[in-house]
Amino acid sequence: MKNLLFIVFIGFTAFMISCQPKTINTEWQTIFNGENFDGWKTAAENPGSFTIENGTIKCSGERSHLFFKKDFKNFEFETEIKTLEHSNSGIFIHTKYQAKDWPAAGYEIQVNNSYKGSENYKERKKTGSIYSIRNVYYPFVGDNEWFKMRIKVVENMIEVFVNDVKVNEYVQPDKPWRWDGGEGLKLRKGTFALQAHDPKSTVYYRNIKVRELPESEKTPVFDENWDATITKLMHPGFPFIDFHVHLKGTLTIDSVLQSSQQLGINYGIAPNCGLHFPVTNDSSLYAYMNEVKGSPTFKGMQAEGREWITLFSPEAIAKFDYVFTDAMTFTDSKGRRNRIWIPEEVWVDDKQQFMDDLVSKIEAIFSQEPVDIYVNPTVLPAELTPEYDELWTKERMQRIVKVLADNNIALEINARYKLPKAEMIKMAKEAGVKFSFGTNNTGNDLGRLEYCIQMIEECNLTPGDMFEIKPDHLKPIKVKGLPAKITG
């Protein structure tokens, strides 16, 4: 009897101990000593891709992964990173040891500032991406400079910070959508791994540390259906970017970033630049750039009116990532300045003549002005909108598509106006024209680019069909002046 009571007592004591909250060390712990790989284990596949150089972990060589030997659930992980040109790497979280291949468990936080992929796969996911789940397309930092990355995981939420700026956030549903082969990409519990990507890639890590965080409540998921929709776009690397956002009304840079992290949409922010607009010269242009400097967003310029190139220097224009314009401000054949979104400033003496003037003006704009994207495409004055399908004939659409294709100008699919329609998008795709997405918000009405998603499906758009910013995105302006054909 005594033995039985003793066994019961021991069992009860063990049960009570197991019920006590786990004691964790919430202090920062250094997990790489700068001298050897104590506490780490290289994959059996190409272990020589990891070496120690001047107190750093150098990842350079054939594909391989270096795993830490301890698991974590809730944590903050921090390290300093330097990439050389065209290099690619990643930090895996909640993963587990694999002898070869890409880790199948957990998430990869992308490290890529300039690597563009191979002939077989264009890589646009940049540093801070939660790879294939929530991609970041804006290159927030550059090569050959040390930067800090911090990753925070609390229950079902991941936050990624680069140089202490939050660039990404993901709240995982209980049953997230995953593609075949991606079922392991979930938060559970696991270790960290560093990636050596390929022989042409060299990335350094130093000052690696971690601290455990206590158990917590899960973060509510914003919208499970939207989570599946955006992940289905992110997985194939579809650059889901709204390039046409204005800081208007109550919309601030902080609210744009909040929307980006909640919805997974990347943004490009642009001021209206031109005569009688908020930005009218180089000094006001530079002032705006300082306002949005340091935010993880693309910086665009909306060129307004046809005289815009007389107001800004080529050097100032080149500070922007891209420049776009529309044909909503133009001078007609009688010398009248039309602003077609204002009914009082539109002259339609003859509908067909108006359309001929508009199409000719669009051809002149995009054959001569140094811009990247045609935005608010095919918009008509309110009095002509009911006859849109009749007025935008196939021949007129073909003329627009041709001038865009001939001059390497992208065509915006606009979510606000729901234009252009699928017929023109398919025509442009066939001609090799690239596409961008845009809202052209009037205030705090960013939305979710629903029309753009509809057109992706209806027109079979692929990541390769989408606009990509290039370093030489602007055609050179040979003289600071207005071509004779483009006035007002």
- pLDDT tens for 100-119 read 999 999 999 999 999 998 87
Query: How far apart are the C-alpha atoms of 265 and 237, rounded to whole Å?
Result: 13
pTM of the model: 0.90
Query: How far apart are the C-alpha atoms of 129 and 107, rounded to whole Å?
Result: 10
Query: How far apart are the C-alpha atoms of 236 and 228, rounded to whole Å?
Result: 13
Please choose, from the candidates 313, 386, 318, the residue with its C-alpha nearest in 3D space to the C-alpha of residue 348.
386
Q: Examine residue 220 and say whether the peptide bond preceding it is cis (omega within 30 degrees of 0).
A: no
pLDDT at 91 over 90: yes
Domain ranges in the chain with CATH number 2.60.120.560: 29-212
Please count the helices (runs of H) and the strands (runs of E) in the chain: 10, 23
| Confidence at 276, pLDDT banded by 50, 70, 90 | confident
pLDDT at 370 over 60: yes
What is the DSSP code (8-state) at residue 419? Answer: B
Which has the minimum average pLDDT: 19-33, 194-208, 459-473?
19-33
Report pLDDT for 176. Answer: 97
Q: What percent of the chain has pLDDT over 70?
A: 92
Query: How far apart are the C-alpha atoms of 361 and 350, rounded to whole Å?
Result: 16
Three-class secondary structure of residue 49 per DSSP = helix
Residue 52 and residue 38 in contact, taking contact as beta carbons nearer than 8 Å: no
CATH of domain 238-465: 3.20.20.140
**pLDDT tens per residue, range 213-229:** 999 999 999 999 999 99
Looking at residues 78-91, what average pLDDT do you find? Answer: 97
**pLDDT tens per residue, range 398-441:** 999 999 999 999 999 999 999 999 999 999 999 999 999 999 99
Domain ranges in the chain with CATH number 3.20.20.140: 238-465
Residue 324 and residue 244 in contact, taking contact as beta carbons nearer than 8 Å: yes
Pick the more confident residue, 477 or 370. 370
**Ramachandran class of 118: left when φ > 0, alpha when ψ lies in -120 to 50, beta otherwise:** beta
Domain 29-212 indexed as CATH 2.60.120.560: yes
Looking at residues 361-389, what average pLDDT do you find? Answer: 96
Q: Calculate the alpha carbon distances from 423 to 293, 396, 415, 420, 450 in Å.
A: 39, 12, 16, 8, 18
Report pLDDT for 484. Answer: 36
pLDDT at 19 over 80: no
Looking at residues 256-272, what average pLDDT do you find? Answer: 96
